[in-house]
Structure 1
Amino acid sequence: MRVDQIDISQYESLLNEKAQQTLALFEQIKLPDNIKTIESNNKNYRLRAEFRVWHQDEDSFYIMFDPVNKEKFRVDYFIPGSELLNKMMVAVREHFLNNPILRFKLYQVDFLTTLSGEALVSLIYHKKLDDEWQQHAKQLKQALNEIAPVNIIGRARKQKVLVDKDYVTETLSVQNTQYHYQQIENSFTQPNGMINQAMLNWASVISQSLSGDLLELYCGNGNFSIALAKHFNKVLATEIARSSVKSAQYNLAKNNINNTVIGQSSAEDFSAAYFEGKSVKSLKDIALSDYQFTTILVDPPRAGLDDKTVELIQKFDNIIYVSCNPETLKDNLLAIDETHQVQDLTLFDQFPYTHHIETGVWLTRRSLL
């Protein structure tokens, strides 16, 4: 559905239809009776977005492309976007329309906002950014700071120019505790902040009944690791993207968490090393024998888990699986169902008005029942 054609009055019916279609995928798996669906706001739910800039005569405006026919359409108000994101869209456009230095060869504008009221604006160009551009970008930052704390990034071929910082700091509330997360430009962050907060609370409630040590794969910037650390003796988390690992380590320090180690490794490499009894190359200073793992949390990309990682997670008493793709989740659960039983399945509407939905699953080893 095109974002300019969203009818918010249809939100409930669309979500119900999506939830039913998703649950139908799992008909071969025994599910608990109390399946919940967590609703999103029906508008202003998305914290990040990117727009191409279209120049036409004396005007310049944001455009997106129709997902079906790829035709461009103008976007003056982005219905899914947070209120702060929309305010930034308007203010940035008004500023570059009246500023030839900022407007000339401006190709794209990316926005990242937070629930806690910060913003990051990335201006992407088909030209080299010089000192004059930086001076005008500083003036833009000063103007936008009247709306909210904001940082500006300029990008061009082989150039990245910072007007202050390249990140925002998000604050999320999980079981009445505030956690602070650095979110870096061009690194993955959950787009729907309120739903992310709901997922963290869901995982935290489950984890408070568990014990021992936690292993997490695909940890990103420490989104789950940081919120769940207090429920476990020790946490070991891995992530393949170097920028996310650095951000996660920064976030550990910012939240004064001392029982968690985050290192760089792919899930595939970690699984292979685990079964071969070898140390992970990038985790050579970490002895897996020092951990008493009882729980594993995975939040993989849309491709889901490879066979070796499925085999790995079956070694754990508790599995917390967060999935953005019900199709690959179904395939993984059919394999995991041989050794584990689903205790909780909750749907989170991370992506309203699309067929995508986030699914959280908690499984326990059958021998423990």
Structure 2
Amino acid sequence: MAVSFDPAGYEQQLAAKRERLTELLAPFSAPEPAVFASPREHFRLRAEFRLWYQDGQPHYAMFEPGNNRQPILIEQLPIASRRINELMMPLLEACKADPELGRKLFQVEFLTTLSGEALVTLCYHRPIDEQWDQAARKLAEQLNILLIGRSRGRRRVLERDHVLEELQVDGRTWRYQQVEGGFTQPNGLVNQHMLSWALEAAGHNTDDLLELYCGNGNFTLPLSTRFRRVLATELSKSSVRSALENIADNQVENVTLVRLASEEVTQALTGVREFRRLQGIDLSGYRFGTVFVDPPRAGLDPGTLELVKGYNRILYISCNPETLAANIAELQASHRITRCALFDQFPYTHHMEAGVLLERRT
């Protein structure tokens, strides 16, 4: 999808998002939101391009929503990280020069990090085999990248299928395994702001944290320093694998991770159902004072809403302020907003991330 790139109008766009969030939260007497701006360019750590062929030559292409017949041919993408822009044309030229790399190549995906790593996935409309490996290894060495090849039913990983990110939060460096194709926050610098805000909002606690939708442990790791223990849950198998690696790599010892959907967590904590995946975990031994949620765009389902009402504090990160407001409307009888924030993960679009801390009314 093409994105309008307008650095000169950035402050006006950000002000409009702030006004929109303020209006959405006004019925709940929310305080003024803290606003965390994005860099105006080179902020996006991921990018995906289709290839469009003219006169037999490939070009990177993006498309307006709903129109896959009118490509916008590009050589650089100002919103993408500097590393992606450095790699785009040398990679394409190498694929044009070597038929083993370029034949029936239809898509290129970039995943980069603040720590400087880059993983590139080349997608083909043909089988790839050991001959591709040989050509790809030369390219990976030449460009100093990690490289993966994909074709129908096949994936060829030359070295590893993930990058290692490093994020600075509250004076500490956290290392994260980010897997190809898995969900990661696309704007690394704003993600650091999100993590720092969440830590400040959480404060220092002597009780425990329940985290739903933990993903690869993005918030789990820093938040573990602010609670006695953390019970984190996630449904995606690949995210759980990455989270476990990240917990071990960062030597975090007070987090227990369970693969459960949010609805299953509700059933387990309310005693409606027992799960084999919870064997050996004494839920009654936890003293949860805070619940942290970072749900999908649809927000919290009715069962999870009822669950979170039972906690003194609800720390909520949202990628959809409309469903956030709808959820708060269901919580306002028991909780009030004491902090809120706007995180501009997606400049030049209408999308934004928001954070609120809700505390039980006394």
Global fold match (TM > 0.5): yes
Structure 2 counterparts to residues 49-198 of structure 1, below 5 A: 49-67=47-65, 69-70=67-68, 71-145=70-144, 150-198=145-193
| Range moving further from structure 2, 322-331 or 267-276 | 267-276
- 1:171-206, Cα deviation, whole Å (9 max, x unpaired): 001100000000000110000000110000001112
Q: How much does 1:69 deviate?
A: 4.0
Partners of 1:286 and 1:126 in 2: how far apart? 47
CA shift, 1:277, in A, is: 4.5
Shift of 1:17: 1.0
> Cα deviation per residue 1:66-93 (whole Å; 9 max; x = unaligned)?
1254432112111210001111212211
Task: Quote the Cα distance in structure 2 between the aligned partners of 1:112 and 1:99.
Answer: 23
Match of 1:314 among 290, 309, 315: 309
Distance 1:117 1:51 in 2: 21
What are the superposed Cα offsets for residues 260-291 of structure 1, whole Å, 9 maximum, x if unpaired?
01121111111122223433343233221121
- Aligned: 1:295 with 2:290: yes
The one-letter code of the counterpart of 1:346 is A
Is contact 2:52–2:71 with CA below 8 Å preserved after alignment?
no
Partner of 1:328: 323
CA, structure 1 residues 281+335, in 2 after alignment: closer, same or farther (shift >3 Å)?
Answer: farther
Within 2, Cα distance between the matches of 1:172 and 1:66? Answer: 33
In structure 2, the residue corresponding to 1:77 is in which secondary structure? Answer: coil
Whether the aligned pair in 1 keeps the contact of 2:45 and 2:186 (CA below 8 Å) is yes
Q: Could you say which residue in structure 2 is the equivalent of 1:17?
A: 16
Report the Cα distance in structure 2 between the residues aligned to 1:10 and 1:236, rounded to whole angstroms.
43
Instruction: Check conservation: 2:202, 2:315, Cα contact below 8 A.
Output: no
Letter in 2 for 1:8: P
Contact 1:102 1:136 in 2 (8 A): yes
* One-letter amino acid of the counterpart of residue 334, structure 1: A
- Report the TM-score when normalising by structure 2: 0.97
Question: Matches of 1:324 and 1:43 in 2, distance apart?
Answer: 21
Quick one: distance in 2 between partners of 1:65 and 1:2?
A: 6
4+ residue runs of structure 1 moved beyond 6 angstroms? Answer: none
* Kept after mapping to 2: 8 A contact 1:265/1:283: no
SS of 1:195 mapped into structure 2: helix
User: What's the % identity of the aligned pairs?
Assistant: 43
CA distance in 2, matches of 1:305, 1:326: 12
d(CA) in 1 for partners of 2:18, 2:206: 32
Write out per-residue CA displacement over residues 144-183 of structure 1, whole angstroms, 9 at most, x where no aligned residue.
11xxxx2101001110100100000000011000000000
Q: CA deviation at 1:27?
A: 2.5
- Are the equivalent residues in 2 in contact too, given 1:270–1:280 (CA < 8 A)? no
Partners of 2:201 and 2:339 within 8 A in 1: no
Query: Which residue number in structure 1 is paired with residue 6 of structure 2?
Result: 7
1:5-49 deviation per Cα after TM superposition (whole angstroms, max 9, x unaligned): 4121111101111221222122211112x4211100011000001
Gaps spanning 5+ residues in structure 1: where? Answer: none
CA distance in 1, matches of 2:21, 2:74: 31
Using the alignment, how far apart are the partners of 2:279 and 2:105 within structure 1?
A: 45
Deviation at 1:211, TM superposition (A): 3.1
Distance 1:307 1:100, change over 3 A: same
| Match of residue 48 from structure 1 | 46
Q: What TM-score do the two structures reach when normalised by structure 1?
A: 0.95
Task: Provide the secondary structure at the position in 2 that maps to 1:28.
Answer: helix
Could you tell me whether the CA contact under 8 Å between 2:18 and 2:33 is conserved in 1?
A: no
Corresponding residue number in structure 2 for 1:278? 273
Q: 1:197 to 1:271 in 2, by over 3 A?
A: same
Structure-2 separation of matches of 1:171 and 1:366: 38
Aligned residue for 1:164, secondary structure, equals coil
Note if contact 1:265-1:280 (Cα within 8 Å) is conserved in structure 2: no
Counterpart for residue 333 of structure 2: 338
